[in-house]
Structure 1
Amino acid sequence: MTDGGRLLPWAGPEGKPCYLVGDGTGYVSRLADDIEDLQLGMAGDLLGHAAELLAERRVTSAELRYLALRLTESLRDVTRVAESRGARLRAGSH
């Protein structure tokens, strides 16, 4: 992480992390907050779908592969949100 920068909930070119430097009150900060909330909500929905799918007796390998891909994407997003929020909590305690 860069000094004082907020890790944003999206990646830049070539998948590199994006950071925002500011006071946390601007448009991009609010947009990042909204996207983080959306990503967390989608992760919860996906977990519910995964539980339902895995409870089925007849699940194809294609369905499981698709589920694994979506869960991987969601976990990547949620991990980025956790890293960003954790870094901001640590920065606020200094």
Structure 2
Amino acid sequence: MDCKVKLWEVYGDRRCLNTFIDHSKAVRDIYVNTAGTRFLSAAYDRCLKLWDTETEQGKPGFTNRKAPYCVGFNPGEDKQNLFVAGTSGRKIVQ
């Protein structure tokens, strides 16, 4: 595991389209929104990052006292700005 998230083309050339780098420790989980325009990354640096796949830019991270193990967007189309994370402290944060 490393500190990067790679976006791959799975059809055609099967090549890496982009590499997103901003975590200081290994990335544990990612979750892509339903439109495929944004994704969340959770890493052992205790940080959650929100990335834009179109502009290839990341938003300032959200930190927590415990490492996030898993992340997910709200499944509602009109609520894709909400997300949750399960942490090593056995809690879910929103």
TM-score by length of 2: 0.24
Q: Name which one, 1 or 2, has greater alpha-carbon Rg.
A: 1
Structure number with higher helix proportion: 1
TM-score by length of 1: 0.24
Choose between structure 1 and 2 for higher RCO, CA contacts under 8 A separated by at least 6 residues. 1
